[in-house]
């Protein structure tokens, strides 16, 4: 019967490769779309650290470029990193419309896919547009209340909790 300590050591060795096994050209941090990606993670998992890229989008980007999604991201050389960067930028042209995160953009009317800081800026612009229209969602955003119909009486209240005060005896 196997000893549990040796099994745990084997699992830990499998989880993270040793620095000697990685080589000199291994990149521990990759820079894509204004985001630092961890080179020790598989490529599909590392791509999800970019804002606007989820698991499904990351796997599709790996298929478009022909890279193995389970290969560690740090093993990509500079040419492959540039190819991956271009694939992220041109993602909207290579996938069906239903896979995009910004369909029928209000300003341009185009189908685009936002990544990086564009996601945050567009979200803030949309919320400010709702506030200036003074529609229900804009008013709820401005007052800091729940927007999508959740309960506001008991859950999600900010501030200190009071509870029931007891009588002094």
pLDDT at 7 over 50: no
One domain, residues 136 and 60: no
Q: What is the pLDDT of residue 144?
A: 83
CATH number for the domain harbouring residue 89 = 1.10.8.50
One domain, residues 59 and 120: no
pLDDT at 12 over 70: no
Q: What is the pLDDT of residue 113?
A: 86
Radius of gyration, alpha carbons of the chain: 23
Closest listed residue to residue 78, CA positions, set 23, 116, 31: 31
One domain, residues 86 and 126: no
One domain, residues 15 and 79: yes
Q: What is the pLDDT of residue 46?
A: 92
Region 44-48: mean pLDDT is 91
Q: What is the pLDDT of residue 162?
A: 65
- The domain tally of the chain equals 2
90 falls within a domain: yes
The chain-wide mean pLDDT, for the chain, equals 81
Q: What is the pLDDT of residue 45?
A: 92
148 falls within a domain: no
pLDDT at 145 over 70: yes
Contact 88, 50 (CB under 8 A): yes
39 falls within a domain: yes
42 falls within a domain: yes
The residues pairing with 32 across neighbouring beta strands, listed in sequence order, are 35
Q: What is the pLDDT of residues 93-126, one digit of tens each?
A: 888 888 888 888 777 888 888 888 888 898 888 8
Domain holding 39, by residue range, is 8-98
- The first and second tokens of residue 89, run together, are 């930028």
């Amino acid at each position: 019967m196997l000893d549990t300590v040796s099994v745990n050591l084997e699992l830990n060795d499998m989880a993270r490769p040793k620095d000697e096994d990685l080589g000199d050209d291994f990149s521990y941090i990759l820079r894509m779309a204004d985001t630092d990606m961890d080179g020790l993670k598989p490529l599909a998992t590392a791509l999800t650290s970019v804002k606007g890229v989820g698991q499904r989008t990351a796997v599709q980007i790996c298929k478009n470029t022909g890279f193995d999604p389970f290969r560690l991201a740090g093993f990509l050389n500079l040419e492959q990193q540039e190819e991956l960067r271009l694939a992220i930028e041109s993602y909207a042209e290579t996938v069906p419309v239903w896979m995009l995160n910004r369909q029928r953009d209000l300003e341009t009317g185009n189908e685009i896919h936002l990544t990086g800081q564009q996601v945050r800026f567009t979200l803030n612009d949309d919320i400010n547009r709702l506030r200036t229209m003074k529609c229900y969602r804009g008013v709820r955003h401005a007052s800091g209340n729940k927007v999508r119909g959740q309960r506001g009486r008991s859950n999600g209240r900010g501030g200190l909790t009071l509870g029931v005060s007891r009588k002094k005896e």
